[in-house]
Amino acid sequence: MFNEKKCLQSAVAVASFVPIIAGLSGVLQGTGMVEFAPDVSLNSHVKYLSGLLLAIGLAFLYCIPSIETKKSLFSALTFIVVIGGLARLLAYITDGSPETPMLFGLCMELCVTPILCFWQWSLACKYGMDR
């Protein structure tokens, strides 16, 4: 179990940097990360949402040291990420394909994060932390 825990901790650490980097980019650049002349209100909204993304990534990092005991938090964070991914998927269906970084985000949101969550659940059960 120790090796499995270390592997999961490493995978979550690597995956956590995606929302942290994207969140910081959005906080610092706003809509400038995707367009040249941002609208002030749109830029404000993008920076707010990027701050939330940054917080999600930091919360996943918080789970790492005792990952087997963080089932509720990990599940809640995964739920938030998947709902965001479903919203992005809806935009893909209704508006067309976004740029490659957004497609990478979609894959992280609807594939990688749920897989990590199921892995975390499995580890929590092995450690008897399945409540």
Q: What's the pLDDT tens digit per position in 70-102?
A: 999 999 999 999 999 999 999 999 999 999 999
The domain spans of the chain are 2-126
Q: How far is CA 47 from CA 33, 40, 43, 91, in A?
A: 11, 11, 6, 19
Question: Is there a contact between 67 and 74 (Cβ–Cβ < 8 Å)?
Answer: yes
Asked if 26 contacts 53 with a C-beta cutoff of 8 angstroms, the reply is yes
Residue-level pLDDT at 30? 76
Average pLDDT over residues 26-40: 75
Residues 38-47 pLDDT 10s: 688 888 888 8
State the angle between helix axes of 113-126 and 2-29 in degrees (0 to 180), rounded to the nearest 10. 140
